[in-house]
């Protein structure tokens, strides 16, 4: 799975949260909290959904990386590589 594949799949996971936001405008620097207005409790839920979708484990420390799209994608890739 390439970085672009993970990024697309992660943005698809965010789709229910993209109220009025065009997914093509989302970049790695997009903040889930400030740009997408996702609260911290929902970010934890998204991290759990990412665990299922990508077959990884997201601990409390890794959830902190879910505050930007790029941070989440990088963390997912690192966990997938570590599990391989």
Predicted confidence (pLDDT) per residue in 19-68, tens digit: 888 989 999 999 999 999 999 999 999 999 999 999 999 998 888 888 99
Q: Is residue 47 part of a domain?
A: yes
State how many domains the chain has: 1
Parent domain of 67: 3-17+30-83
Predicted confidence (pLDDT) per residue in 71-81, tens digit: 999 999 999 88
User: 3-class DSSP state for residue 7?
Assistant: helix
Q: Is residue 54 part of a domain?
A: yes
Which pLDDT value is given to residue 65?
Answer: 86
| pLDDT reading at 1 higher than 90 | no
Q: Is residue 25 part of a domain?
A: no
Which pLDDT value is given to residue 77?
Answer: 96
Q: Is residue 23 part of a domain?
A: no
Which pLDDT value is given to residue 74?
Answer: 96
Cα–Cα nearest to 44, from 22, 19, 27, 61:
61
CATH number at residue 75: 1.10.1200.10
């Amino acid at each position: 799975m390439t970085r672009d594949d993970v990024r697309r799949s992660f943005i698809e996971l965010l789709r229910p949260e993209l109220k009025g936001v065009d997914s093509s405008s989302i970049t790695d620097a997009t903040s889930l909290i400030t740009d997408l207005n996702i609260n911290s409790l929902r970010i934890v839920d998204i991290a759990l959904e990412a665990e299922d979708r990508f077959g990884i484990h997201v601990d409390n420390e890794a959830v902190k990386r879910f505050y930007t799209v790029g941070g989440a994608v990088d963390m997912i890739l690192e966990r997938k590589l570590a599990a391989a």
